[in-house]
Protein backbone atom coordinates (compact mmCIF):
# COMPACT_ATOMS: atom_id res chain seq x y z
CA UNK A 1 0.00 0.00 0.00
CA UNK A 2 2.58 2.51 1.04
CA UNK A 3 4.59 1.88 -2.08
CA UNK A 4 1.59 2.13 -4.32
CA UNK A 5 0.17 5.30 -3.01
CA UNK A 6 3.21 7.08 -1.67
CA UNK A 7 3.90 8.22 -5.18
CA UNK A 8 7.03 10.19 -5.76
CA UNK A 9 7.24 12.51 -8.68
CA UNK A 10 10.09 10.64 -10.27
CA UNK A 11 8.31 7.33 -10.32
CA UNK A 12 6.54 6.56 -13.52
CA UNK A 13 3.14 5.04 -13.90
CA UNK A 14 4.78 2.03 -15.55
CA UNK A 15 6.73 1.24 -12.44
CA UNK A 16 3.59 1.45 -10.40
CA UNK A 17 1.90 -0.89 -12.82
CA UNK A 18 4.77 -3.38 -12.50
CA UNK A 19 4.51 -3.39 -8.78
CA UNK A 20 0.78 -3.79 -8.91
CA UNK A 21 1.25 -6.85 -11.08
CA UNK A 22 3.74 -8.30 -8.67
CA UNK A 23 1.07 -8.53 -6.04
CA UNK A 24 -0.54 -11.91 -6.07
CA UNK A 25 -2.44 -12.24 -2.89
CA UNK A 26 -4.02 -10.27 -0.12
CA UNK A 27 -4.79 -7.17 -2.11
CA UNK A 28 -8.35 -6.26 -2.86
CA UNK A 29 -9.51 -6.70 -6.45
CA UNK A 30 -9.51 -3.01 -7.14
CA UNK A 31 -5.84 -2.90 -6.29
CA UNK A 32 -5.00 -5.17 -9.17
CA UNK A 33 -6.10 -2.73 -11.81
CA UNK A 34 -2.68 -1.36 -12.49
CA UNK A 35 -1.97 2.38 -12.40
CA UNK A 36 -5.48 3.15 -11.24
CA UNK A 37 -4.52 1.84 -7.82
CA UNK A 38 -3.30 5.36 -7.21
CA UNK A 39 -6.90 6.46 -7.03
CA UNK A 40 -7.47 4.86 -3.66
CA UNK A 41 -8.34 7.22 -0.92
CA UNK A 42 -9.18 4.82 1.89
CA UNK A 43 -5.99 5.26 3.89
CA UNK A 44 -4.85 1.67 3.56
CA UNK A 45 -6.16 -1.43 5.27
CA UNK A 46 -3.90 -3.87 7.08
CA UNK A 47 -4.51 -6.57 4.48
CA UNK A 48 -3.16 -4.29 1.81
CA UNK A 49 0.19 -4.39 3.50
CA UNK A 50 0.63 -8.12 3.08
CA UNK A 51 1.76 -7.96 -0.51
CA UNK A 52 5.19 -9.54 -1.09
CA UNK A 53 6.85 -6.27 -1.98
CA UNK A 54 5.52 -4.34 1.00
CA UNK A 55 7.10 -4.21 4.40
CA UNK A 56 4.92 -4.56 7.45
CA UNK A 57 4.67 -1.27 9.20
CA UNK A 58 3.25 -0.86 12.63
CA UNK A 59 3.42 2.88 12.92
CA UNK A 60 0.44 3.73 10.80
CA UNK A 61 2.71 4.22 7.85
CA UNK A 62 1.71 6.31 4.93
CA UNK A 63 -1.95 6.84 5.41
CA UNK A 64 -1.99 10.00 3.38
CA UNK A 65 -3.90 9.58 0.15
CA UNK A 66 -2.20 10.42 -3.11
CA UNK A 67 -2.13 14.03 -4.14
CA UNK A 68 -4.57 13.59 -6.99
CA UNK A 69 -7.23 12.10 -4.78
CA UNK A 70 -7.00 14.21 -1.69
CA UNK A 71 -9.96 16.52 -1.68
CA UNK A 72 -9.07 20.18 -1.88
CA UNK A 73 -9.74 22.46 1.03
CA UNK A 74 -12.74 23.81 -0.77
CA UNK A 75 -14.17 20.39 -1.54
CA UNK A 76 -13.74 19.31 2.03
CA UNK A 77 -15.52 22.43 3.19
CA UNK A 78 -18.33 21.95 0.76
CA UNK A 79 -19.06 18.55 2.20
CA UNK A 80 -19.66 19.98 5.62
CA UNK A 81 -22.74 22.05 6.20
CA UNK A 82 -24.50 23.96 8.89
CA UNK A 83 -23.00 26.84 10.84
CA UNK A 84 -19.40 26.03 10.01
CA UNK A 85 -20.20 26.10 6.31
CA UNK A 86 -21.98 29.41 6.76
CA UNK A 87 -18.98 30.83 8.60
CA UNK A 88 -16.64 29.61 5.91
CA UNK A 89 -18.76 31.07 3.15
CA UNK A 90 -18.95 34.40 4.96
CA UNK A 91 -15.17 34.53 5.38
CA UNK A 92 -14.63 33.65 1.73
CA UNK A 93 -17.03 36.34 0.73
CA UNK A 94 -15.66 39.05 2.99
CA UNK A 95 -12.13 38.23 1.92
CA UNK A 96 -13.17 38.58 -1.68
CA UNK A 97 -14.94 41.84 -0.94
CA UNK A 98 -11.87 43.14 0.84
CA UNK A 99 -9.77 42.28 -2.17
CA UNK A 100 -12.19 44.04 -4.50
CA UNK A 101 -12.12 47.11 -2.27
CA UNK A 102 -8.35 47.01 -2.18
CA UNK A 103 -8.17 46.72 -5.95
CA UNK A 104 -10.59 49.56 -6.49
CA UNK A 105 -9.03 51.81 -3.90
CA UNK A 106 -6.91 54.77 -4.85
CA UNK A 107 -5.67 55.02 -1.30
CA UNK A 108 -2.35 56.80 -0.97
CA UNK A 109 0.35 54.57 0.45
CA UNK A 110 2.54 56.30 2.94
CA UNK A 111 5.60 57.83 1.42
CA UNK A 112 7.27 58.72 4.72
CA UNK A 113 8.00 56.47 7.62
CA UNK A 114 6.14 57.16 10.83
CA UNK A 115 7.59 58.28 14.10
CA UNK A 116 10.14 55.56 14.92
CA UNK A 117 9.29 53.29 17.85
CA UNK A 118 12.92 53.16 18.88
CA UNK A 119 14.35 55.29 20.30
CA UNK A 120 11.85 58.16 20.10
CA UNK A 121 8.63 56.49 21.14
CA UNK A 122 10.32 54.24 23.70
CA UNK A 123 12.15 57.08 25.41
CA UNK A 124 9.04 59.20 25.55
CA UNK A 125 6.96 56.35 27.01
CA UNK A 126 9.70 55.44 29.47
CA UNK A 127 10.00 59.01 30.68
CA UNK A 128 6.23 59.34 31.08
CA UNK A 129 6.12 56.02 32.93
CA UNK A 130 8.97 56.81 35.28
CA UNK A 131 7.58 60.27 35.91
CA UNK A 132 4.19 58.81 36.81
CA UNK A 133 5.68 56.11 39.06
CA UNK A 134 7.89 58.75 40.64
CA UNK A 135 4.89 60.94 41.41
CA UNK A 136 3.10 58.00 43.06
CA UNK A 137 6.16 57.14 45.15
CA UNK A 138 6.68 60.76 46.13
CA UNK A 139 3.07 61.24 47.16
CA UNK A 140 2.99 57.98 49.10
CA UNK A 141 6.20 58.92 50.91
CA UNK A 142 4.90 62.34 51.88
CA UNK A 143 1.24 61.52 52.54
CA UNK A 144 0.96 58.04 54.05
CA UNK A 145 -2.51 56.80 55.00
CA UNK A 146 -3.45 57.34 58.64
CA UNK A 147 -4.18 54.52 61.04
CA UNK A 148 -7.89 54.72 61.78
CA UNK A 149 -9.56 53.44 64.92
CA UNK A 150 -10.41 49.73 64.85
CA UNK A 151 -13.88 48.65 63.80
CA UNK A 152 -16.45 49.06 66.52
CA UNK A 153 -20.01 47.97 65.66
CA UNK A 154 -21.41 49.60 68.76
CA UNK A 155 -20.44 53.19 67.99
CA UNK A 156 -21.37 54.87 64.73
CA UNK A 157 -18.77 57.49 63.80
CA UNK A 158 -19.91 61.03 63.02
CA UNK A 159 -18.54 60.89 59.48
CA UNK A 160 -19.02 57.79 57.35
CA UNK A 161 -17.49 58.11 53.92
CA UNK A 162 -16.20 55.80 51.23
CA UNK A 163 -13.14 56.66 49.14
CA UNK A 164 -13.53 59.80 47.04
CA UNK A 165 -14.26 57.87 43.85
CA UNK A 166 -17.47 56.49 45.33
CA UNK A 167 -18.73 59.84 46.59
CA UNK A 168 -20.99 60.14 43.56
CA UNK A 169 -22.73 56.92 44.52
CA UNK A 170 -22.96 58.02 48.14
CA UNK A 171 -24.37 61.32 46.92
CA UNK A 172 -27.12 59.54 45.01
CA UNK A 173 -28.14 57.92 48.29
CA UNK A 174 -28.86 61.40 49.64
CA UNK A 175 -31.32 62.31 46.90
CA UNK A 176 -34.22 60.58 48.58
CA UNK A 177 -36.23 63.80 48.69
CA UNK A 178 -36.55 63.43 44.94
CA UNK A 179 -38.64 60.34 45.54
CA UNK A 180 -41.91 62.04 44.72
CA UNK A 181 -45.11 61.21 46.44
CA UNK A 182 -47.53 60.20 43.77
CA UNK A 183 -51.11 61.43 43.99
CA UNK A 184 -52.37 58.28 42.26
CA UNK A 185 -51.07 56.19 45.10
CA UNK A 186 -52.68 58.50 47.62
CA UNK A 187 -49.53 60.28 48.66
CA UNK A 188 -47.53 57.07 48.77
CA UNK A 189 -44.19 56.65 47.09
CA UNK A 190 -43.60 53.77 44.72
CA UNK A 191 -40.52 52.55 46.51
CA UNK A 192 -38.96 53.38 49.83
CA UNK A 193 -36.52 56.27 49.73
CA UNK A 194 -33.55 53.96 50.08
CA UNK A 195 -34.66 51.62 47.33
CA UNK A 196 -35.35 54.57 45.08
CA UNK A 197 -31.87 55.98 45.62
CA UNK A 198 -30.18 52.63 45.00
CA UNK A 199 -32.24 52.02 41.88
CA UNK A 200 -31.28 55.48 40.61
CA UNK A 201 -27.82 54.03 39.95
CA UNK A 202 -29.33 51.86 37.22
CA UNK A 203 -30.28 54.53 34.65
CA UNK A 204 -27.06 56.44 35.25
CA UNK A 205 -24.88 53.40 34.57
CA UNK A 206 -27.14 52.26 31.72
CA UNK A 207 -26.67 55.67 30.12
CA UNK A 208 -22.92 55.08 29.96
CA UNK A 209 -23.42 51.74 28.25
CA UNK A 210 -25.80 53.25 25.71
CA UNK A 211 -23.71 56.25 24.67
CA UNK A 212 -22.14 54.73 21.53
CA UNK A 213 -25.53 53.53 20.32
CA UNK A 214 -27.27 56.86 20.86
CA UNK A 215 -24.59 59.08 19.40
CA UNK A 216 -23.66 57.86 15.96
CA UNK A 217 -22.04 59.51 13.00
CA UNK A 218 -18.50 60.49 12.19
CA UNK A 219 -18.32 63.72 14.19
CA UNK A 220 -15.42 63.60 16.61
CA UNK A 221 -14.56 67.06 17.86
CA UNK A 222 -16.68 68.69 20.54
CA UNK A 223 -17.19 71.56 18.07
CA UNK A 224 -18.82 69.21 15.64
CA UNK A 225 -21.31 67.86 18.16
CA UNK A 226 -22.35 70.61 20.61
CA UNK A 227 -25.27 68.60 21.99
CA UNK A 228 -23.27 65.53 22.96
CA UNK A 229 -20.46 67.64 24.37
CA UNK A 230 -23.09 69.40 26.48
CA UNK A 231 -24.29 65.98 27.66
CA UNK A 232 -20.72 65.12 28.58
CA UNK A 233 -20.23 68.34 30.52
CA UNK A 234 -23.57 67.67 32.23
CA UNK A 235 -22.32 64.27 33.34
CA UNK A 236 -18.96 65.53 34.58
CA UNK A 237 -20.51 68.40 36.57
CA UNK A 238 -23.22 66.11 37.92
CA UNK A 239 -20.61 63.68 39.22
CA UNK A 240 -18.92 66.57 41.02
CA UNK A 241 -22.11 67.96 42.52
CA UNK A 242 -23.26 64.51 43.60
CA UNK A 243 -19.87 64.02 45.24
CA UNK A 244 -20.37 67.29 47.11
CA UNK A 245 -23.85 66.14 48.06
CA UNK A 246 -22.23 63.13 49.73
CA UNK A 247 -20.37 65.42 52.09
CA UNK A 248 -23.21 67.87 52.63
CA UNK A 249 -22.82 67.63 56.40
CA UNK A 250 -19.26 68.90 56.12
CA UNK A 251 -20.29 71.48 53.52
CA UNK A 252 -23.00 72.84 55.83
CA UNK A 253 -20.51 73.49 58.61
CA UNK A 254 -18.00 75.09 56.24
CA UNK A 255 -20.44 77.16 54.19
CA UNK A 256 -23.38 78.19 56.40
CA UNK A 257 -25.37 79.72 53.51
CA UNK A 258 -25.57 76.39 51.77
CA UNK A 259 -28.68 74.81 53.24
CA UNK A 260 -29.52 71.23 52.48
CA UNK A 261 -32.36 72.13 50.10
CA UNK A 262 -30.26 74.70 48.29
CA UNK A 263 -27.46 72.24 47.79
CA UNK A 264 -29.78 69.58 46.46
CA UNK A 265 -31.28 72.12 44.10
CA UNK A 266 -27.86 73.34 42.99
CA UNK A 267 -26.53 69.85 42.38
CA UNK A 268 -29.08 69.37 39.63
CA UNK A 269 -29.21 72.99 38.42
CA UNK A 270 -25.46 73.41 37.97
CA UNK A 271 -25.11 70.55 35.45
CA UNK A 272 -27.87 72.12 33.36
CA UNK A 273 -26.17 75.50 33.55
CA UNK A 274 -22.86 73.99 32.53
CA UNK A 275 -24.45 72.05 29.70
CA UNK A 276 -26.25 75.12 28.40
CA UNK A 277 -23.10 77.24 28.44
CA UNK A 278 -21.16 74.48 26.68
CA UNK A 279 -23.85 74.14 24.07
CA UNK A 280 -24.01 77.87 23.44
CA UNK A 281 -20.25 78.30 23.26
CA UNK A 282 -19.71 75.33 20.97
CA UNK A 283 -22.61 76.30 18.76
CA UNK A 284 -21.19 79.77 18.23
CA UNK A 285 -17.68 78.36 17.78
CA UNK A 286 -19.07 75.95 15.26
CA UNK A 287 -20.13 78.67 12.89
CA UNK A 288 -16.65 80.11 12.78
CA UNK A 289 -15.23 76.63 12.55
CA UNK A 290 -17.48 75.66 9.68
CA UNK A 291 -16.77 78.99 8.00
CA UNK A 292 -13.09 78.25 8.24
CA UNK A 293 -13.56 74.75 6.88
CA UNK A 294 -15.74 76.01 4.04
CA UNK A 295 -13.32 78.76 3.18
CA UNK A 296 -10.48 76.29 2.97
CA UNK A 297 -12.66 73.96 0.93
CA UNK A 298 -13.71 76.62 -1.55
CA UNK A 299 -10.17 77.85 -1.86
CA UNK A 300 -9.19 74.38 -2.94
CA UNK A 301 -12.23 73.91 -5.14
CA UNK A 302 -13.69 77.30 -6.11
CA UNK A 303 -17.34 77.16 -7.13
CA UNK A 304 -17.88 77.42 -10.89
The secondary structure of residue 121, as a DSSP letter, is I
Indicate the residue among 156 and 253 with the shorter CB distance to other proteins.
156
* Residues in region 91-110 near other proteins by CB under 8 A: 107-110
| Residues 6 or more apart in contact with residue 163 via CB below 8 angstroms | none
Residue 188 β-bridge partners:
182
Hey, is 83 helix, strand or coil? helix
Q: Contact between 73 and other proteins (CB under 8 A)? A: no
Taking CB under 8 A as the rule, which mask of x and - marks residues 150-169 in contact with other proteins? xxxx--xx--xxxxxxx--x
**182 φ, ψ to 5°?**
-90, 135
Preceding amide of 119 cis, omega within 30: yes
Indicate the residue among 78 and 98 with the shorter CB distance to other proteins.
98
Work out how close the CB of 162 gets to other proteins at its nearest, in angstroms, rounded to a whole number.
Answer: 5
Work out how close the CB of 278 gets to other proteins at its nearest, in angstroms, rounded to a whole number.
Answer: 10
Indicate the residue among 107 and 118 with the shorter CB distance to other proteins.
107
Hey, is 217 helix, strand or coil? coil
Indicate the residue among 104 and 163 with the shorter CB distance to other proteins.
163
The C-alpha atoms of residue 172 and residue 196 are separated, in whole angstroms, by 10
Q: Contact between 63 and other proteins (CB under 8 A)? A: no
Hey, is 244 helix, strand or coil? helix
Element (H, E) at 262: helix 260-300
Indicate the residue among 39 and 205 with the shorter CB distance to other proteins.
205
- Report the residue from 25, 213, 299, 303 that binds other proteins according to the rule CB under 8 A: 213
Does residue 187 come out as left (phi exceeding 0), alpha (psi in the -120 to 50 range) or beta? left
* Residues in region 114-133 near other proteins by CB under 8 A: 114-115, 124-125, 128-129, 132-133
Work out how close the CB of 157 gets to other proteins at its nearest, in angstroms, rounded to a whole number.
Answer: 5
* Residues in region 214-233 near other proteins by CB under 8 A: 215-222, 224-225, 228-229, 232
The C-alpha atoms of residue 243 and residue 263 are separated, in whole angstroms, by 11
Closest to 264 in 3D by CA, of 198, 178, 158, 202: 178
Work out how close the CB of 140 gets to other proteins at its nearest, in angstroms, rounded to a whole number.
Answer: 4
Indicate the residue among 149 and 257 with the shorter CB distance to other proteins.
149
Q: Contact between 236 and other proteins (CB under 8 A)? A: yes
Amino acid sequence: MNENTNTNDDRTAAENADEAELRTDGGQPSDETGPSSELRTDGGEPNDETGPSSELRTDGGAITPADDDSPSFRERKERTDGLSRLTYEYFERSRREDQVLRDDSDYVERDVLGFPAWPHEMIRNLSITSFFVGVILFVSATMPPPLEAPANPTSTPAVILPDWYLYWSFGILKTETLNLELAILGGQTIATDRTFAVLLHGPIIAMMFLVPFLNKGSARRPVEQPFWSAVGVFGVILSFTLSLLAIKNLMATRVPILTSELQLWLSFALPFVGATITYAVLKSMREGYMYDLNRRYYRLRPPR
